[in-house]
Chain A
Amino acid sequence: DGGITQSPKYLFRKEGQNVTLSCEQNLNHDAMYWYRQDPGQGLRLIYYSQIVNDFQKGDIAEGYSVSREKKESFPLTVTSAQKNPTAFYLCASNNNRELNQPQHFGDGTRLSIL
């Protein structure tokens, strides 16, 4: 089945540690996105990538980094500079070659501080 796979489902980070969240898609989508969701709030865009080897900062990129070396993969690293990393992280993708295309989501990673 085509879809977006995020791993791990749950992740715990120690103080001062970098952690990497995985996102893989087999939908042949060019565009991929990372969001963060905090309780009672809407999704906020961290980084996005419209094409391989290119990515842009979203609204809350500080303390995060990404890479896009393959079309299928868009890993997110939460660095030690992100002081409040506890949240639900969602990866999405869409076909950006046409207008008005919705984004489809993976099932998310819950990150907590130890």
Chain B
Amino acid sequence: RKEVEQDPGPFNVPEGATVAFNCTYSNSASQSFFWYRQDCRKEPKLLMSVYSSGNEDGRFTAQLNRASQYISLLIRDSKLSDSATYLCVVNRGGYNKLIFGAGTRLAVHP
């Protein structure tokens, strides 16, 4: 089993749609959780950290469920510019090392 698993997609959605991604992780000792965005042939960029209480940044909402060991990302009112691959990232419990999921690809169309 992979340490971090994501649905690879692609998710093809129209502009204005709401889309949700899930990610599961295997190490119950993990303490740090992030969502990164990666555009084609570019470096990953931090989208948001994920906190236990859940957090929101504009159209983006992240949730953490420690009991079930999954993280979610909700994007509301999708824009064409949201088209990218979204990487779920988890630390390897107790260490300052991050484990990256393979990513979920989102394509927003007019």
Contact = CB atoms under 8 A, between A and B. Distances in A.
A99 B43 contact: no
B43 A100 contact: no
Nearest to B45: A105
A25 interface: no
Contacts of A100: 31-32, 49, 91
B97 A94 contact: no
A84 to B, nearest CB: 18
B31 A104 contact: no
B4 A42 contact: yes
Interface residues of A, number: 25
Contacts, number: 50
Interface stretch (A43-51, A64-72, A73-81): A43-51
B43 A108 contact: yes
Nearest to B46: A102
Interface in A56-114: 58, 88, 90, 94, 96, 99-108
B96 interface: yes
Contacts of A102: 32, 34, 46, 49, 89
A53 interface: no
B20 interface: no
Contacts of A16: none
A27 B68 CA distance: 36
Contacts of A101: 32, 96
A21 interface: no
Interface stretch (B55-63, B76-84, B99-107): B99-107
B65 to A, nearest CB: 17
Nearest to A58: B97
A2 interface: no
B48 to A, nearest CB: 9
A99 B42 contact: no
A50 B96 contact: yes
Given A42-B103, A45-B98, A105-B44, 13 more contacts: A40-B102, A41-B102, A43-B87, A50-B96, A90-B43, A90-B44, A99-B31, A100-B31, A100-B32, A100-B91, A102-B34, A102-B89, A106-B43
